[in-house]
Structure 1
Amino acid sequence: MKKSELIYIILSSVLFFILNFCSAKPTIRYDEKNKKSESTNEKDIKKETIISDENFDITPYRTEINLTDKKVDLGKSSGEIWYQYDVKDDASVKTKKIKGTMNGFRVQVIATDDLNEANKIQEELKVIKGNNEIYSVFEPPFYKILLGDFKTSDEANSLRFKLNQLGYADSKVVKSTINLFE
């Protein structure tokens, strides 16, 4: 036997083996018997789930959700609400004079195009914070309520965190020109 004949026999036997033993078995996708039995089983399963869904009681699995209101108890004194935060009396604010300005940080409580909403938020902040360092700024088309005069962003972030706890979730620290008092 020649070498080429031997190679031909080996290759043809390998090809025969691959085609006959390594191919996937044909699947019958649209067999009428299987289709009818599957559809009846599906209907039975759907009936069972509908019946079980009607009798299901969710009350043991209910989670009780208690949401805090955005409103702050205004009966508390401002010292109780702003514990460990600098709260100044109205008398000290009236005697303060601005000696200059510098770059710093303020906490932006809200930015809205609704003047009534901005005024409402400003009044809420005056009741709980006093008149100190609450600024209303109009930058078209938004009315912005800013709070505080802080030299560092850490001080402003501390106030922003407290405002978030009180329900003002949109509060953020912004760079601004701040007032320096005597």
Structure 2
Amino acid sequence: MKNIIHSSLILSICLLLFISFHCGTSTGTRYSRENQSSDIEKQENQTPENQVSIKEEITTEEFDMTPYSSKLDLPESPELKPRTRNESVWYGYENEKTSSLNNQRVILRSAEGYRVQVFSTDDLNEANNVKSDIYFKTGVKDIYLIFDPPFYKLRVGDFQQAADANSLYFKMKQMGYKESKVVKDIINIFSQ
């Protein structure tokens, strides 16, 4: 009796597995076969004239873009005014007479005085960047980059009086150069 129950159980499980594996098919192949057969039937029933009209239907769009088009309201351009020369912008090379009068400052002598040390670093590129920042922010031309191994020190100004150096020191502190300090140094005295 046990043998019969055991055999019938194995037989029913095998039958169930056989039915479940052979009745199912993947959805990808099921739908692709139907689409392929329907496409083949459509192509057989169509004449060349019908095929052209179907292609035209596919390529023509029925969506109307006109309600969504942008309307640009551009104001009329104002009359161009002649530009004036800005002194801080370089326009080209000047002739020798005007450049020598405007840009040449002759060092008369050197003396003991004061400068404001703004920055100190061991990176030359960083020192040059800070030097150009200070020049463009303040317009001061007396900016010196001194190499005192192993540091590059950036010093600004040539002051004979400590009070003048202190006013620049205060300005540099306000501009964010917190390392600034007034130092004694050999300064250049220029002809005016």
TM-score normalized with structure 1 length: 0.48
TM-score normalized with structure 2 length: 0.46
